[in-house]
């Protein structure tokens, strides 16, 4: 086309009433300004709402914890220690004296000051032993279970746990002969000989359901919400979960676990962030993330309960656990313990996202860089006396990596719906370095517990475009 | 002619209504023409021009007088505003048509027409054709630039241009036929 024609077209001026159109334009500008104010007001309300949702979610989970604890406290079936003892401790049989004689042959030791006072140490003092064949086997080491009682001021909450079965079996007593001297107790292995007529108690914790974590799937909606604001900015609120998880969590303790297994694992991750579109194919998401991992652990094994402590060393083991008492005051206890662990973390995150489209679907690939602000471990062990023992600890060497894939499709003018899958890989450690002298049968260890969690989290995406 | 210099830009940035009106008075008629050439059928060109002016007032600081005249810059904003409202389904011809080999180069017929008539005929083109024709023939965009701007394939740009030209010829021929028939 000829240039002169082009110029004619380009610079052609259409007829119009300038004043009229100017007044129209002014009114439109006023309207836009009013809508802008309304938009930011709405945005403030939405932000407030999302924050409230976050706080409520947090409270909701905290509430569930306290509910399960209240169940323990308020249970009418609580059996106090005295009752338990009266039910479970049998009179010393005729062979008791012989046992005492045998025990008196054992190496005499000085007992720690706290242990010397029988009044300060409860009569149901109980120490754990690793070996299931403790009664008969020789060269079996005493080791502890996982967990820790690190604080003497730990609250002891009575629970509803009752003995399902409590019976005494007469049998031959066993003698326990330390293989090496006490000075080498850290590497000493036990040599167990027979006591005569050691009273035995078989304890089984009767509950199965009362301490379920009971996260209600319907109340925790795994959904990712995104509200697109002005100039490439958007507000994101993501809650992803794997509540009935098949997630794999590897728990490595420096001390061997005694038939420790995980009954259930729940993973929940929720975040609030801002997203900025950088280019057509790249956006940057950053914000705050709260993550919670709940696990119910069960430990089975055989331990020993000392009715009356004395300065007689019955047994000692690799981890310096020692059983003090006259052998006729010691009985074997089968135990089945539960522990509830809650790993919670507060983090900030930065996530670059790659965007592409394929056949009408928007595909977003993201890799999240998570910087933990704190990572806390709360745990609750249920002892055979029916006591709930709580404590907490901060994790170390926390590393969290997330990769996610979103597939979205526009379903309405301003609305996009899709699915999110997130792979999370995290590792963290807890350093258990305080040996326990707590008289309860609880899980005890020294050393380092390493966790490694690999899980997939799922959720629904909902994106709304305000502009 | 109004000179949009740094001082003027500062006044607009301060949202001075007198300067805003002055700018509107100077450029609105030209920009309305541009808006008519690019606005999709379902959009009022006047509304599109209003949108463009709101954007011009908001983004005036991005205009650099050293890089070109204000008319070109503001025209580009009007074009972009119109193209944003264009439905992508308008570019439905993804395949390169076989008849494209019959190139249409004879557009001398335009020279005999008045600009108003010419504009009317161009505006009769369907969405998709009209925008590609305007961008390629009048603004001088390459097919690559058009495909980048509109987010379509280059081959679609060529295809739409070809069809636009063919349709224009038919429209002009029909108009001539009608004119001859009416004057006969």
Residue A9 has its nearest CB partner, among B28, B111, B138, at B138
CA–CA min distance A351, chain B (Å):
27
Instruction: Pick from B18, B26, B33 the residue to mutate for testing the A interface (most A CBs within 10 Å).
Output: B33
Instruction: Give the number of other Cβ atoms within 10 Å of residue A378's Cβ.
Output: 15
Burial class (CB in 10 A: 0-12, 13-18, 19+), A199: buried
Percent pLDDT > 90 in chain A is 2
Q: What is the mean pLDDT of chain B?
A: 80
Rounded Cα gap, residues A436 and A431, in angstroms = 14
Provide the pLDDT for residue A259: 56
B37 vs A contacts (CB less than 8 Å): 9
CA–CA min distance A17, chain B (Å):
9
Instruction: Pick from A2, A4, A10, A230 the residue to mutate for testing the B interface (most B CBs within 10 Å).
Output: A10
* Residue A82 dihedral angles phi and psi, to the nearest 5°: -60, -45
Which residues lie across from A174 on neighbouring strands?
A194
- Band (A129; pLDDT cuts 50, 70, 90): very low
pLDDT tens digits along B134-147 = 999 888 889 998 88
A7 vs B contacts (CB less than 8 Å): none
Which class would CATH give A217-309+330-465? mainly beta
* Residue A300 dihedral angles phi and psi, to the nearest 5°: -120, 150
More confident residue, A107 or B52: B52
Contacts 24+ apart (CB under 8 A), B47-56: B48/B78, B48/B81, B48/B82, B48/B85, B49/B78, B50/A21, B50/A24, B50/A25, B50/A28, B51/B81, B52/B77, B52/B78, B52/B81, B53/A25, B53/B23, B53/B24, B53/B28, B54/A25, B54/A28, B54/A29, B54/A32, B55/B81, B56/B23
Residue B138 has its nearest CB partner, among A6, A15, A16, at A6
CA–CA min distance B168, chain A (Å):
13
Mean pLDDT of A422-442: 61
B46 vs A contacts (CB less than 8 Å): 16, 21, 24
B137 vs A contacts (CB less than 8 Å): 1, 6
Would the pTM of this model clear 0.95, i.e. be above it?
no
B53 vs A contacts (CB less than 8 Å): 25
In Å, what is the CA distance from B91 to each residue of A7, A359, A410, B160?
27, 16, 20, 7
Say if CB B94 and CB B153 are below 8 A apart: yes
A14 vs B contacts (CB less than 8 Å): 29, 32-33, 36
DSSP classification of residue A91: P
Percent pLDDT > 70 in chain B is 80
Rounded Cα gap, residues A340 and A390, in angstroms = 9
A26 vs B contacts (CB less than 8 Å): 17
Q: What is the mean pLDDT of chain A?
A: 60
Rounded Cα gap, residues B139 and A286, in angstroms = 42
- Band (B53; pLDDT cuts 50, 70, 90): very high
Measured over the CA atoms of residue A9, residue A14, residue A19 and residue A24, the dihedral's sign is negative
Rounded Cα gap, residues A131 and A140, in angstroms = 6
Provide the pLDDT for residue A334: 61
Closest Cα in chain B to A17: B29
Residue B107 has its nearest CB partner, among A1, A25, A29, at A1
The answer to whether residue A210 scores a pLDDT higher than 60 is no
* ipTM reported for the complex surpasses 0.85: no
Range name among A72-76, A404-408, A455-459 with the lowest pLDDT average: A72-76
- Band (A242; pLDDT cuts 50, 70, 90): low
The answer to whether residue A256 scores a pLDDT higher than 90 is no
Work out how many CB contacts closer than 8 A connect A with B.
69
Provide the pLDDT for residue A352: 93
Which candidate, A166, A132, A422, A389, places its Cα nearest to that of A258?
A132
Residue A25 has its nearest CB partner, among B24, B33, B110, at B24
Rounded Cα gap, residues B59 and B4, in angstroms = 14
Provide the pLDDT for residue A350: 92
- Band (A260; pLDDT cuts 50, 70, 90): low
Alpha-carbon dihedral A299, A300, A304, A307, rounded to 10 degrees: 70
Rounded Cα gap, residues A208 and B105, in angstroms = 86
Residue A18 has its nearest CB partner, among B25, B33, B119, at B25
Which residues lie across from A464 on neighbouring strands?
A227, A415
The answer to whether residue A357 neighbours chain B at the CB level (below 8 Å) is no
Residue A24 has its nearest CB partner, among B50, B118, B140, at B50
Closest Cα in chain A to B48: A25
Burial class (CB in 10 A: 0-12, 13-18, 19+), A383: buried
Which regions of chain A carry the CATH code 2.40.128? 217-309+330-465
CA–CA min distance B25, chain A (Å):
6
Provide the pLDDT for residue A377: 79
pLDDT tens digits along A351-375 = 999 988 887 788 899 998 888 888 8
Rounded Cα gap, residues B46 and B36, in angstroms = 8
Closest Cα in chain B to A20: B25
pLDDT tens digits along A90-124 = 333 333 333 333 233 333 323 333 333 333 333 33
Beta strand A282-306 pairing with A260-279:
antiparallel
Mean pLDDT of A62-87: 38
Rounded Cα gap, residues B52 and B78, in angstroms = 5
Mean pLDDT of B135-162: 87
Rounded Cα gap, residues B67 and B46, in angstroms = 28
Please report the residues numbered 31 through 70 in chain A whose beta carbons come closer than 8 angstroms to any beta carbon of chain B.
32
Say if CB A382 and CB A159 are below 8 A apart: yes
The answer to whether residue B82 scores a pLDDT higher than 80 is yes
Which candidate, A258, A270, A262, A233, places its Cα nearest to that of A246?
A262
Say if CB A171 and CB A198 are below 8 A apart: yes
- Band (B84; pLDDT cuts 50, 70, 90): confident
Which candidate, A125, A123, A175, A439, places its Cα nearest to that of A327?
A175
Closest Cα in chain B to A18: B25
More confident residue, A148 or B77: B77
The answer to whether residue B176 scores a pLDDT higher than 50 is yes
Determine the length of chain B: 184
The answer to whether residue A295 scores a pLDDT higher than 50 is yes
- Band (A387; pLDDT cuts 50, 70, 90): low
Residue A28 has its nearest CB partner, among B29, B50, B138, at B50
Q: Which of A148-162, A350-364, A450-464 has the highest mean predicted lDDT (pLDDT)?
A: A350-364
Closest Cα in chain B to A5: B111
Residue A12 has its nearest CB partner, among B28, B53, B119, at B119
- Domains along chain B? 6-84 (1.10.1740.10), 90-183 (1.10.10.10)
DSSP classification of residue A169: -
CA–CA min distance A24, chain B (Å):
8
Provide the pLDDT for residue B78: 92
**Structure tokens belonging to residue A152:** 């003497």
């Amino acid at each position: 086309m000829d240039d002169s024609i082009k110029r004619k077209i380009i610079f052609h001026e259409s007829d119009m009433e300038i004043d009229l159109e100017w007044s129209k334009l002014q009114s439109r500008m006023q309207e836009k300004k009013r809508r802008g104010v309304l938009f930011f007001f709405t945005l403030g309300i939405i932000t407030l709402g999302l924050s409230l949702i976050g706080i409520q979610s947090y409270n909701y989970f905290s509430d569930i914890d306290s509910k399960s604890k209240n169940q323990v406290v308020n249970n009418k079936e609580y059996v106090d220690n005295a009752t338990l003892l009266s039910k479970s401790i049998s009179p010393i049989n005729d062979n008791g004296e012989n046992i005492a004689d045998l025990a008196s042959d054992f190496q005499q030791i000085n007992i720690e000051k706290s242990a010397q006072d029988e009044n300060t140490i409860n009569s149901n003092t109980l120490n754990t032993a690793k070996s299931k064949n403790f009664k008969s086997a020789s060269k079996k080491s005493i080791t502890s279970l996982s967990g820790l009682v690190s604080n003497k001021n730990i609250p002891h909450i009575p629970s509803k746990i009752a003995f399902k079965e409590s019976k005494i079996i007469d049998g031959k007593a066993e003698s326990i002969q330390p293989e090496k001297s006490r000075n080498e107790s850290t590497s000493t292995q036990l040599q167990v000989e027979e006591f005569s007529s050691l009273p035995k108690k078989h304890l089984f914790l009767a509950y199965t359901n009362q301490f379920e974590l009971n996260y209600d799937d319907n109340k925790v909606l795994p959904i990712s919400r995104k509200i697109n604001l002005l100039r490439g900015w958007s507000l994101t609120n993501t809650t992803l979960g794997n509540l009935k998880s098949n997630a794999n969590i590897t728990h490595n303790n420096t001390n061997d676990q005694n038939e420790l297994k995980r009954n259930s694992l729940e993973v929940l991750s929720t975040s609030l962030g801002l997203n900025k579109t950088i280019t057509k194919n790249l956006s940057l998401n950053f914000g705050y993330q709260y993550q919670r991992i709940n696990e119910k652990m069960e430990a089975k094994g055989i331990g020993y309960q000392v009715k009356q402590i004395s300065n007689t060393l019955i047994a000692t083991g690799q981890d310096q656990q020692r059983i003090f008492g006259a052998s006729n005051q010691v009985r074997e206890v089968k135990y089945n313990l539960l522990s509830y662990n809650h790993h919670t973390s507060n983090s900030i995150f930065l996530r670059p996202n790659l965007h592409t489209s394929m056949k009408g679907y928007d595909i977003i690939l993201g890799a999240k860089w998570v910087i933990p602000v704190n990572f806390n471990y709360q745990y609750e062990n249920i002892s055979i006396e029916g006591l709930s023992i709580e404590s907490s600890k901060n994790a170390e060497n926390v590393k969290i990596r997330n990769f996610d894939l979103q597939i979205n499709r526009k379903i309405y003018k301003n609305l996009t719906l899709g699915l999110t899958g997130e792979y999370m890989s995290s590792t963290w450690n807890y350093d258990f370095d305080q040996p326990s002298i707590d008289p309860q049968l609880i899980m005890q260890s020294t050393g380092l517990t390493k966790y490694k969690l690999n899980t997939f989290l799922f959720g629904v995406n909902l994106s709304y475009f305000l502009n | 002619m109004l000179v949009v210099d740094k001082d003027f830009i500062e006044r607009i940035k301060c949202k001075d209504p007198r300067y805003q009106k002055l700018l509107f008075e100077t450029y609105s008629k030209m920009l309305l023409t541009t808006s008519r050439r690019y606005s999709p059928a379902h959009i009022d060109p006047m509304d599109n021009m209003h949108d463009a002016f709101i954007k011009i007032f908001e983004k005036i600081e991005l205009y650099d007088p050293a890089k070109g005249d204000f008319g070109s810059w503001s025209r580009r904003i009007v074009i972009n505003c119109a193209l944003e409202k264009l439905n992508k389904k308008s570019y439905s011809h993804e395949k390169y048509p076989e008849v494209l080999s019959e190139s249409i180069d004879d557009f001398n017929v335009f020279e005999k027409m008045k600009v108003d008539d010419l504009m009317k005929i161009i505006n009769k083109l369907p969405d998709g054709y009209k925008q590609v024709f305007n961008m390629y023939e009048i603004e001088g965009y390459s097919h690559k630039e058009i495909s980048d701007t509109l987010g379509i394939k280059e081959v679609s740009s060529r295809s739409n241009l070809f069809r636009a030209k063919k349709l224009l010829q038919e429209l002009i021929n029909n108009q001539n036929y009608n004119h001859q028939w009416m004057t006969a």
